Structure 1
């Protein structure tokens, strides 16, 4: 958008004028060099960020810089040579600075009073115009469109103003009032048909008193399920679980800035990520209403297992906030050097079953969360762990490496099932498995390439965000495909239902719904897609500046939907619901020391 470069030009001019007016003459050169270098680095990093997240970063992303070394491999794969053009102006500046220094001191403009007045005037005019841009663009909900209209620097200012405005609104409210408003708003959406009545809840208490294991599968999309490659079943274990249990093929990610950790947060709280900060970092100091807290009332002990260091994504804060009794991180496992994170999924499950079997022997019911890492980008599965043979056309490709990693993740889950059977726990355990987020980036494997290589219909938005959800209930004799559209917020209400926990009786505020007992569903997404995006029974809707210039795509055909007028109420509803979710989580009490 070349016509919008003026917005960044004005913001930069404000900063340069301040440097010219405030910084002593001898220091101006180094300071200008420093500003140029920092700004170039910001643009370079933000371009990488956008390539991965599909979102323009704000100042809040700086809080997660310490996480970057942990995902070095994923980041490096996104760098393109043209990104380094951001630094070419440093060479131009060096030449100009050299020319300026060669002039006699008497000719340098920096010492003339008239020059100073001109700089001050330019700075004031630029500041006023930038403020005008921010005022007009600040009302745009879609962050990408807002950034396009404001430019990178003014977008940061708008983000600060928006955050402060929202915090002021939340401060004026209270938790009880917010919960009441949530309940009132949710009653306006017809999640249940009037004709369906108030009969018994389906599957309520189907796994009451049983152990609960939830597996969060790293970068696991739904399309590999029930797919074969040269006669090789890609996910035989999950296919079998789907055939014997509940399978939700129309299930989608909703994560925010915290990625994997946000998926953990949502599945355990049914609260929207704010999208401005990883929830573990921003709200790890709260007492979060959660699945571990709900099950604690039924004498359950909750543990979480992950092969990485617990400090990654500030899980050391989040796990106590969620009320997990134990966490088992990197030191708990034997490092078999599977990938950059260390231990393999097989080792994760070996240690997990070892710890859980001790509780089982004590007749202590447990809830265990496993967060896998073996299918993490860049999908480098060691040769001796690869279990499928790729066709020549997929050798050395992102798609081929991804399918190899997914196949291993599936195999490792099979080892968990076998260990549970060997230790007499399988028949007493409900097993839930879901993907945390997509794995394949469009720039590394296009929808055309995926579709042609695998013989499937793949869409960069719908298929990309489509993740699996499977639930195995002990004693269930036959499987069921649940077509209801759902998102990660719906995991807690659905699981609570099968565990025999009534959220209504517990007074639990959930922003998702029990997928086994709703006739319609709607849920928002505001990371990887802009604020105002939502899924309902029919479409994925993505706004433009607002609703009217938004686009919708059919979840069934992947074709554009031209008449979007009937979805306006859904758009307004989701915006209100997400704002209430933000208010709710920010008003939750902080934990004691």
Structure 2
């Protein structure tokens, strides 16, 4: 033991290098499920840069302590990235640090993403601690003074630093332009990937330095005209269903972790979402092929995109990165027409900086945790039922005062990990699902549906229903891949299920009392919600000078929507397929949206791929160019 410990003390640089390279290999196995020696060379270059810098700035006396600290920091980074990847399916960039203050609010979700195997990244510290304690005991009777460490050789270390920096630079330059973040991260390794992200961000900011939001709008119009053309819309002239809900109140329900899979589903003869099913049967506008498009902000990003028709950037939660802007939105647009816009969420408004996001979106007032009685439904506090109770009171006051309103409700009762207390259960979960995440999910979504039904009944009782347009959509997926094998989900539910298409497919429906809606078969995304609702409200976004990056789904035949963060940049859905790029388009994969089968020849969708990359780039530029408040 003394021999090993002395060896570590004499050569902390190389000992730490070897340990970190083992951890880099483990990280690759945990995330990418493969370890390529050629890719480890990129990791080696980055690790050498870090260790050489530490070697040069540290005196001999503190070498061992500093190298151990460096090892610990990198190990924590790798551990955090493994947990992050387990939950989100992506490698986090340094910009994810902006969300660290939110971790405590979703503690249960974070804990569920930790695999025991991830702790192997800290195994060396347990061994080193044991060896250290053993050598301390053995050295009590040893009066010999420990030998000093050999003097550092700055010249050799400097040369090694220069070589490793050059190697890292070459690796980064070769893969800098790959849009697919997962491919880029796998090729570069987690450390060089962070540098590449920073370089890309700087290049993008430099490219728009002298641009303007108006210039971006003109470029968008040219892009849309070239891609959509005359065949991409239903017909010229007044859009279909334009103004059928003009002047009505608007209630928007954002359903937490809600997949479209739940709509129409029966479990042992019990409807999971009878309220939503009835709304569709009563003639709502229903869009069964709508997909999530959120970024780092998750639920708060869903609020952003559905209210604006603008893509989240994917590199930072929109509330944290752009809450200082005056963002064009539906609440702001309706506010100009005399509407009062309120938003309701049972959590603390500082969660994901909603206290900044809501003014940026033009909401008149928000109601958060202090406004509700905590019936301890889950970790967020109050139940959806309590949220609707308070919301009904506030909206009734506005109704009695004759003020039109736009009200947004952000539900939380179906939040991961989906545990529902017995007193709130409204469905009998069958034995085959008992104790599983899917079983908890069925119960949670069923409660969310029931609470919405109770709210609708109260709106009718208070005389507000007939003059209100109801918008309902899911914010993002719910079921986690690691706990829900697609074949098993199909077996126990008796419905087709695809691990990606079904998981990211969210509900979107709009109910306008007295208006016969229809089920639309075309594809759509959250970016399309705002322009679709605006059309129903009789608002021409073009005449209002509003720039949106989605389309009115009631008047669109050709549509392509992009997705990133949960999927690599360049991924898209069109009316036929879901496409996921590889290093580029040619090595990507496509799956039929109806059959879930892989499509071998997808060459005809190259234009869609180029279009969506350019569209999301323009959306990012537009957000960055909006003036600050």
TM-score w.r.t. structure 2 length? 0.91
Shift of 1:30: 2.0
Shift of 1:199: 3.4
| Corresponding position of 1:74 | 109
Matched, 1:2 2:14: no
| Corresponding position of 1:351 | 390
Please give the secondary structure, in 2, of the residue aligned with 1:139. Answer: coil
CA RMSD, 1 decimal: 1.7
Shift of 1:96: 8.4
Matched, 1:406 2:472: no
Shift of 1:324: 0.1
| Corresponding position of 2:537 | 499
Shift of 1:419: 1.1
Matched, 1:321 2:360: yes
Shift of 1:480: 1.6
Q: For 1:515 and 1:506, how far apart are their aligned partners in 2?
A: 19
The Cα offsets for residues 518-573 of structure 1, whole Å up to 9 and x where unpaired, read as 11110100111000001111111100001110111111110001111111111111
Segment drifting more, 324-333 vs 242-251: 242-251
Q: For 1:419 and 1:192, how far apart are their aligned partners in 2?
A: 44
Matched, 1:233 2:271: yes
Matched, 1:170 2:170: no
Q: For 1:545 and 1:96, how far apart are their aligned partners in 2?
A: 45
| Corresponding position of 2:167 | 129
Segment drifting more, 75-84 vs 488-497: 75-84
Q: For 1:319 and 1:479, how far apart are their aligned partners in 2?
A: 31
1:301 to 314, 319, 340: 340
Matched, 1:108 2:146: no
Q: How has the CA–CA distance of structure 1 residues 202 and 195 changed in structure 2, closer, same or farther, with 3 Å as cutoff?
A: closer
Q: How has the CA–CA distance of structure 1 residues 269 and 474 changed in structure 2, closer, same or farther, with 3 Å as cutoff?
A: same
The Cα offsets for residues 146-193 of structure 1, whole Å up to 9 and x where unpaired, read as 000000100001111111111111212122111111111111122652
| Corresponding position of 1:508 | 546
| Corresponding position of 2:73 | 38
| Corresponding position of 1:59 | 94
Q: How has the CA–CA distance of structure 1 residues 298 and 107 changed in structure 2, closer, same or farther, with 3 Å as cutoff?
A: closer
Q: For 2:590 and 2:381, how far apart are their aligned partners in 1?
A: 41
Q: How has the CA–CA distance of structure 1 residues 580 and 99 changed in structure 2, closer, same or farther, with 3 Å as cutoff?
A: farther
Q: For 2:595 and 2:416, how far apart are their aligned partners in 1?
A: 29
Matched, 1:212 2:246: no
Q: Map 1:389-538 onto structure 2 (within 5 A).
A: 389-476=428-515, 478-538=516-576
Q: For 1:364 and 1:424, how far apart are their aligned partners in 2?
A: 14
Matched, 1:283 2:314: no
Q: How has the CA–CA distance of structure 1 residues 533 and 195 changed in structure 2, closer, same or farther, with 3 Å as cutoff?
A: closer
TM-score w.r.t. structure 1 length? 0.96
Aligned residues: 587
- Unaligned runs of 5+ residues in structure 1 are none
Matched, 1:273 2:312: yes
Please give the secondary structure, in 1, of the residue aligned with 2:100. Answer: helix
Q: For 1:566 and 1:138, how far apart are their aligned partners in 2?
A: 27
| Corresponding position of 1:188 | 226
Q: For 2:111 and 2:330, how far apart are their aligned partners in 1?
A: 37
After TM superposition, where is structure 1 displaced by more than 6 Å over at least 4 residues in a row? 95-105
The Cα offsets for residues 362-389 of structure 1, whole Å up to 9 and x where unpaired, read as 1111000000000000101111111111
Q: For 1:388 and 1:195, how far apart are their aligned partners in 2?
A: 43
| Corresponding position of 1:140 | 178
Please give the secondary structure, in 1, of the residue aligned with 2:572. Answer: strand
Contact 1:243 1:480 in 2 (8 A): no
Q: How has the CA–CA distance of structure 1 residues 222 and 195 changed in structure 2, closer, same or farther, with 3 Å as cutoff?
A: closer
Q: How has the CA–CA distance of structure 1 residues 20 and 285 changed in structure 2, closer, same or farther, with 3 Å as cutoff?
A: same
The Cα offsets for residues 406-459 of structure 1, whole Å up to 9 and x where unpaired, read as 000000000110110111100110000000000001101111111000011100
Contact 2:259 2:507 in 1 (8 A): yes
1:202 to 213, 217, 240: 240
Matched, 1:24 2:64: no
Q: For 1:178 and 1:207, how far apart are their aligned partners in 2?
A: 31
Shift of 1:28: 2.1
Shift of 1:224: 1.0
Contact 1:243 1:479 in 2 (8 A): no
Q: For 1:306 and 1:129, how far apart are their aligned partners in 2?
A: 49
Contact 2:252 2:409 in 1 (8 A): yes
Q: For 2:492 and 2:365, how far apart are their aligned partners in 1?
A: 44
Segment drifting more, 195-204 vs 370-379: 195-204
Q: For 2:132 and 2:50, how far apart are their aligned partners in 1?
A: 18
Shift of 1:29: 2.1
Q: For 2:614 and 2:237, how far apart are their aligned partners in 1?
A: 30
Please give the secondary structure, in 2, of the residue aligned with 1:149. Answer: helix
The Cα offsets for residues 173-228 of structure 1, whole Å up to 9 and x where unpaired, read as 12211111111111112265279541331111111010000000000000111111
Q: For 1:579 and 1:195, how far apart are their aligned partners in 2?
A: 23
2:582 to 529, 544, 557: 544
